[in-house]
Structure 1
Amino acid sequence: MNKNLSVYYWINLFLTACLLAFALAGCGDDGAQGAAGTPGPGVASKSTATAITITITGTTINASGQPVVAFSVVNEDNIPVAGMSDTNLRFNIAKLIPGSPAKWQNYINRKVTKSGEPTAVQGTQERCSLSNGVCSSSYAWGTLVDNINGTYTYTFATDIRSVACPAAPDPCTDVDGNALDLSYQAGITHRVTIQLSGLTPLYNAIYDFVPSGAAVTSTRDIVSTAKCNECHNVIRAHGSRIETGFCVTCHNPGSWDNTADNHQTVDFPVMIHKIHHGDELPSVNDATNPTPYMIGSDDFSDVAFPQDIRNCTKCHDGTPGASNATVNGDNWKNAPTKAACGACHDDLYFGDTPDPAKLYQTVRHMTLITDAGGTAIANPADSTCISCHATGQLAGSVVETHDLPQLLRDEAEKYAFNILSVCGIDVGSSPVCDPTGTGTGLVPTVRFSVTDPTNGNAAYDIKNDAAFKCVPGVGNGLPASLSVLIGWNNTDENNTGSGSNPGQPLTASVLESYSSSTGVCSANNNVVAVGDGSFTATLTGKVIPDGTQGSGRASVYGRVSAVIHSVTERVRIKAAYRDFRITDATAVARRTVVDVNKCLNCHDQLSLHGDSRTDEPGLCVICHNPSATDVNRRPKTGGIPDASGPDGKTEESIDFKRMIHGIHGAGFRENGLVVYGYSSTPIDFSGIRFPGILNDCLTCHVTPTGSNAGSYELADKWEVPTASGILSSTVSAVPTATDAGTYTTFIARQDDDLNITPTAAVCSSCHDGLVAKSHMILNGALFEETQADIASSGTLEACAICHGPGRTADVKSVHGVD
């Protein structure tokens, strides 16, 4: 070796080595396979992406039987993204086995063993979970190649031509003991999925193909993710799995849970139907053998579906042109199966004997299907279900059995409530009901009509048409109900001086009444026909008190009746309202806070109190106002409220801004929420599980626009709510009543009510713990003070200083939706 080489030689050698190191670094991967190079021109880094889209461009099966997936990754600006590492991506592959029904089966499975239980098989993925810097052997992992230009290939570790049963020496079976088909079939539909992991926002990529190269003709796309997200915002499970098409590659008949005494399939149609039917499942409510619906340690027995469970098209719909329709979305009515139908109707058993482990299976599903020799088949194939469950057949079609929600909606389209005048002045001429100077107050009147929008707005005769009549022997004799309501002041209703306490408006029924003791229907004298198809209701004996200020609101609400499938049903009709002047120069509307169309995403129809207050928050707030509590419905001793209810309270606020947050956030609260309803029935909302993203206020609230577009503000009013006329929420309307003689006096007075200041009333309805309460008090909130003391305290809620738009703890940022 020459030890006397020139210094220039060493410098050149050093520079060459550096250049070579950089070049090698630019060709490598990161994660378990070495560091990735610097992205070239026009390529973004994953670390700067705020959104990522993965597109699978092709999949082949190589000579070793390993699927090879080609895909691309772009960011929110559609710029290619390089640098995705082994730990960022997870891969799966399943096949669609033909049949009636077709069913997915994963090629990649794992065994689950539990002491004393048979070995279960569950679908899984190929993934790299690092352990000491290398991919753990707990999962299979293949080879990921980053081409540094936004394109990648992944070669699976699994040879899908010869998949071994992971349960060996035990057999691979489903929950019923049927052998799984893990064979490779090149001529059928396959699905490859990619799960983005460890990065946000989340993304799942899905790609269907046929390995032989044939076109994909067999599909099983039943529920679109968008349908789920109407309620769930983002349907999400197991960290970052957010697409229904992804879920079914594992949640298929081949996967099940083997928890002791509770073996359950996690097949998607069975599991999802049972979860959503939760608290109404026959198995859960069986009188003799009630059985909770559990998967592992998770109990879904208290899940309540927020609308009629028979509304099948809420989740799956194949109607051409329907919102979020899917190719196989009509399977529920055209290709019913025992698994799907038996998931909700789980007291049924198919065959000669029930499952001995399911004692709630008490109803044998009859069959008229016979073999070629005319012998009845005890448990016929799924493909024969439609033979009986079709129009004109013995069982009737699946649609006819589940169509009541749709038929009721169709019937409701035939009715509209219209307010035409208030206090004798047409609504187009700025109606006014001003009791000033009367001394005794003003008896209001409302002229209205009920018309048919599907028939040129032809008017109904509410005194004689069958849809409005009293019907002895049907329910309470009043399948129809129609009322007129008057409330005030629209700045924030509390109906002071109405005589209907605490804080309730003036109301009058305008239809016939019914006596259950005599069985006789009686005419209503509160309403008279005008002669043009409209009617005028007079709220006899009820007044807007002298001295009332501002503006008020008139509403018409109720239901009609209709005979559907030979049964008299209640039909919910959207309520109507109109604002009127009292002392304002022009009618001032109450602030609009929630968008009812957002409510209907989950509720379909939002109807309460006997199916008569429907789809109109503008009506709800007149009764559910800051002064309102449930004290009149609460248990009483000697005529005064006691604390014998399940929550140990004498009353609970039913102010809309407080109650609705509390109900929807009940699962988040530290303390339960109980509200007493009609018939003095306690309703415990403590088990409510909000199906969406609870901290995303825009799930329910109106979407801000204009100068307010970036925030949750309501016309700036929430920053200084008291100064804007927004009232505190009453939490005690009878704070000092000591006997029956004083109860009526105290409930009629609002000046002695104890309240929570407006912003704290809202925030503490979810954040109800002592620490949160202390934080609110420290920043100006008052709890259990009279309205006068709040007004004279000189203290303002300072919430907006920190939580206002663009501030250090902006409401949006705190709720994680900025």
Structure 2
Amino acid sequence: MMKNYNKSLLALALTSALCLTACGDGEDGKDGAPGTPGTPGTPGTPGLPAGSFAKTAESITDLKFTLSPADIKVTSSEGFSVKFTLTGKSSGKDVPFMGLDKIAVYSLTANENTSGTGAPIEWQNNATANKAGSSLTCTLNGLNGTKNACTLKEDAANPGTYTATWTYDGAAPIINPNDNPNAVHRVFVRAYNIVNSQGVALADKVLSVPVDFIPTTDELAASGKDTVSSAACKNCHGEVDGHIAKIEAHHNYQDVKNCVTCHNPDLVPSDAQLAEGWVFDFAPMIHRIHAGEHNAAYLSGEAKEYFGEIGFPSDLKECKSCHDGAPSYNTNIYAQACVGCHINVNFATGENHSEFGLAQADDTQCKSCHGSGSLTPEAVHSVGKRAEYADLFKVDFTSAAVVPSATLGMKTLTLKANVSINGAPIADGTSLATYHATNNPTGKLVANGLLLGNVATDGTVYAWRDVKPTAISLNLASGTLSGGVLTFVKDIPDAQAIGTIYVSSEANACIKAGAVTSCNATGLEFGPTNPIGNSSPVKFFSLDGSAVSTARMADPSRITVEEAKCNACHGTLDYIKGTRHGTYTFTQCMNCHNDTTGASGHKTVVYKGDDGSKVVNPDVTFNNKDLFTVAHRFHSGNFDSITGIFRNAAGELEGYPSPETACSACHKDSAKLFATDGGLTSEKRSIKVGSNYISPVAESCRSCHAHSDAAAVAHFRSNGAIVEADAVTDSNLPVESCATCHAEGKTYGIDKVHAEVAH
């Protein structure tokens, strides 16, 4: 087709030439006057060498905005314009990102609130103030569909540099005519339509880091509102690509500084939503969400559906779990923040506002009671006291020895411990039974019991609570007190009176006015339902002169999880075990949660049916309580209750705040779960179920993947696993071959498979 077209042009040219000469030798016409010069063409984009710019991105982490206060104009006195640069990645280097065609600009102001109701400083979205949505859209043609939008233009001489301007009459809708240019402003940008090298749009929002500044001076400034950091949220919700991982609402705006764009006092629920329990202003809303299970009886409709089963993993009164900045919870006292948790208080009528039913017209009265003294939020909530009070009750074991007993087959064990309460040795004659945190409401363990057991040379723990036919148990009240030293004397079987033993205490204490006191006292700061654990480090002693063995849980090289990571979300482990166990460390936990107990108090697995009922999965049961099994099961929703964390009828995990495949939420960073021989790093080679043993790797996988069907079990068996149906009497099991495919770095390594799902 092109050839024929070219031939036609050639023929036309020849015909024209013949026609021009066919008129003979007449004179040529005079030259005409010069024409008007044409308009110069638009300069072309300077040629850039390949690799010196980017037009695609593989991840939001490839992209970086740079905004300077001097380049941001968002007030009525300045008009509207925002200039910024955007870089991408090429061969690992930051390069200009070209071709951006759509953004949104967000502008907020931190206003001083003098109304007498609400926080002293409140965010206002300047677009919302104009009833113009929450942001200003900018496009290349200045239109957002058929609506006027700001115009986005890339600087041809400086690729990757963009300017957004308003080209229409009147002020840009993001400019608030009542705005205060001397107040702190927050501006950030969102980019749209960015794809990867395959043309697939990035799934995550592309957001700039918010810039907080004062427009009149262009100085960077703190708003005074950021008393909860994204880092605090990440302690429980995890982190992906540098931002908070599991905030599912609105597909994750990534940073608490961005959330207040919409969640501020201007976002008011309808009357129907208020009746259900909704609140949208950020601080009260976060309080309401995290107190969901606590307030479930007062919620209804969708509010109850979304929040009613959320269990806060730390002490609900521990404000510093989230407020890791300035203590605004103790200084910015206003009613709506309080009713976020204290949902049944009606400040207008005074209902449930103290025993006096105090009504108040506005928030100016709050500080008259709660501004100082014993009624400040920090004092009333005992903020930080759980950790501070951990050393008020100390039990430090100093020795353990055995001598022959008068009873055949037994030896007499003597244990000694230094004991102090409230910083002083306990007076002789004191009855420690007085300090029982009740008679242990669960009824499962002896109140204030000692943690006792043997440690084999390979680090395996054999708890004395599992001794058959009669468990060996002691509690603090069993000891004799003299000069601050508590002495225990007990006959134990010869089988337990050898090798290494461990000893500690799981005592709980009740606190009043910063001191350990009787749990029968009134006005307790920490009482029977939320006691404080005692400080009792696990000690190891040899009873027969042999070398002291170290339990696996006490050897950092054999543990792939970190207590610090547990505490980042839970505060302290003693709170998690509540009224039952005053334990803070894995070495205390191992007394019950070990691989030799051979039973579980939570054998079945349930999920939440479509009608809200508890449905038992008949195909999956567990019969051990090793620490990793229990932790995996509970955090993956494969437990026997519909509280806190559970699975729904579709198999989806609810209540767990972090991505469920993010092993690093609990495991050490870069932890190697497999040893060089293919077994577990812990060197655990079996787990007891009933009187028999099964393989540990398959059980570890199954405790999260509790949906494992017959095909999965067959896969376990084909790779050398002994499953519960095949349990054997020998605890020395061969190493499974799971590591061949699933060890770190392998084709189907845990690090790869779980990381892919998490992202």
Q: TM-score, normalised by structure 1?
A: 0.67
CA distance in 2, matches of 1:449, 1:214: 62
Which residue of 620, 635, 642 corresponds with 2:589? Answer: 620
Flag the 1:54–1:650 CA change in 2: closer, same or farther, 3 A: closer
In the other structure, the counterpart of 1:192 is 187
Flag the 1:192–1:529 CA change in 2: closer, same or farther, 3 A: same
Moved more, 301-310 or 205-214: 205-214
Which residue of 380, 383, 387 corresponds with 1:401? Answer: 380
CA shift for structure 1 position 64: 8.5
After TM superposition, list the pairs within 5 Å mapping 1:405-420 onto structure 2. 405-420=383-398
After TM superposition, list the pairs within 5 Å mapping 1:517-666 onto structure 2. 524=478, 527-529=479-481, 533-541=484-492, 544-545=495-496, 551-564=500-513, 567-568=523-524, 569=527, 570-581=531-542, 585-590=547-552, 591-607=558-574, 608=577, 610=579, 612-628=581-597, 652-666=623-637
Indicate yes or no: 2:95 matched with 1:81: yes
CA contact (8 A) 1:231 1:691 kept: yes
- Which letter maps to 1:626? D
Per-residue CA deviations over 1:54-110 (Å, capped at 9, x if unaligned) read: 332121248893241434547699954311553785431122232152222223359
CA contact (8 A) 2:507 2:582 kept: yes
In the other structure, the counterpart of 2:233 is 228
Per-residue CA deviations over 1:646-695 (Å, capped at 9, x if unaligned) read: 666887432211111110111xxxxx4217xxxxxx97852662212332
Which residue of 314, 332, 337 corresponds with 2:334? Answer: 337
In the other structure, the counterpart of 1:784 is 724
CA distance in 2, matches of 1:762, 1:776: 11
**What SS is found at the alignment partner of 2:385?**
helix
Indicate yes or no: 2:117 matched with 1:106: no
Flag the 1:392–1:814 CA change in 2: closer, same or farther, 3 A: closer
CA distance in 2, matches of 1:129, 1:662: 49
Which residue of 345, 351, 354 corresponds with 1:348? Answer: 345
CA contact (8 A) 1:764 1:773 kept: no
CA shift for structure 1 position 301: 0.8
Flag the 1:413–1:724 CA change in 2: closer, same or farther, 3 A: closer
**What SS is found at the alignment partner of 2:473?**
strand
CA shift for structure 1 position 147: 6.5
CA shift for structure 1 position 243: 1.1
CA distance in 2, matches of 1:158, 1:96: 28
> How many residues end up aligned between the 2 structures?
650
CA contact (8 A) 1:80 1:150 kept: no
**What SS is found at the alignment partner of 2:537?**
strand
**What SS is found at the alignment partner of 2:538?**
strand
Flag the 1:207–1:76 CA change in 2: closer, same or farther, 3 A: farther
CA shift for structure 1 position 417: 3.4
Which structure's CA Rg is the greater one? 2
CA distance in 2, matches of 1:581, 1:158: 84
In the other structure, the counterpart of 1:762 is 700
CA distance in 1, matches of 2:752, 2:107: 38
Flag the 1:588–1:220 CA change in 2: closer, same or farther, 3 A: closer
CA shift for structure 1 position 633: 8.5
RMSD, aligned CA: 4.9
CA shift for structure 1 position 488: 3.5
**Unaligned stretches of 5+ in structure 2?**
1-8, 15-39, 193-201, 515-521, 553-557, 605-613, 648-653
Flag the 1:534–1:110 CA change in 2: closer, same or farther, 3 A: same
Flag the 1:279–1:80 CA change in 2: closer, same or farther, 3 A: same
After TM superposition, list the pairs within 5 Å mapping 1:696-707 onto structure 2. 696-703=662-669
- Which letter maps to 1:653? N
CA distance in 2, matches of 1:264, 1:684: 20
In the other structure, the counterpart of 1:728 is 687
**What SS is found at the alignment partner of 1:316?**
coil
CA distance in 1, matches of 2:634, 2:87: 41
In the other structure, the counterpart of 1:500 is 467
CA distance in 2, matches of 1:790, 1:88: 66
CA distance in 2, matches of 1:95, 1:713: 49
CA shift for structure 1 position 334: 1.1
In the other structure, the counterpart of 2:418 is 449
CA distance in 1, matches of 2:365, 2:753: 55
Which residue of 250, 253, 259 corresponds with 2:262? Answer: 250
Flag the 1:46–1:499 CA change in 2: closer, same or farther, 3 A: closer
CA distance in 2, matches of 1:650, 1:785: 11
In the other structure, the counterpart of 2:65 is 54
CA distance in 2, matches of 1:94, 1:51: 27
Flag the 1:484–1:351 CA change in 2: closer, same or farther, 3 A: closer
- Which letter maps to 1:243? D
Which residue of 742, 747, 756 corresponds with 1:803? Answer: 742
CA shift for structure 1 position 558: 1.6
CA contact (8 A) 1:652 1:674 kept: no
Flag the 1:302–1:192 CA change in 2: closer, same or farther, 3 A: same
Flag the 1:211–1:628 CA change in 2: closer, same or farther, 3 A: same
CA distance in 1, matches of 2:688, 2:139: 52
Per-residue CA deviations over 1:22-53 (Å, capped at 9, x if unaligned) read: 983547xxxxxxxxx55786x67764785544
Percent identical pairs in the alignment equals: 21
Indicate yes or no: 2:402 matched with 1:382: no
CA distance in 2, matches of 1:722, 1:611: 30
In the other structure, the counterpart of 2:321 is 314
CA distance in 1, matches of 2:399, 2:188: 61
**Unaligned stretches of 5+ in structure 1?**
5-19, 28-36, 112-120, 166-179, 318-324, 354-361, 370-377, 425-432, 512-523, 636-643, 667-671, 676-681, 704-709, 734-749
Flag the 1:538–1:25 CA change in 2: closer, same or farther, 3 A: farther
In the other structure, the counterpart of 1:427 is none
CA distance in 1, matches of 2:140, 2:695: 52
CA contact (8 A) 1:293 1:301 kept: no
**What SS is found at the alignment partner of 2:361?**
coil
Q: TM-score, normalised by structure 2?
A: 0.72
In the other structure, the counterpart of 2:656 is 690
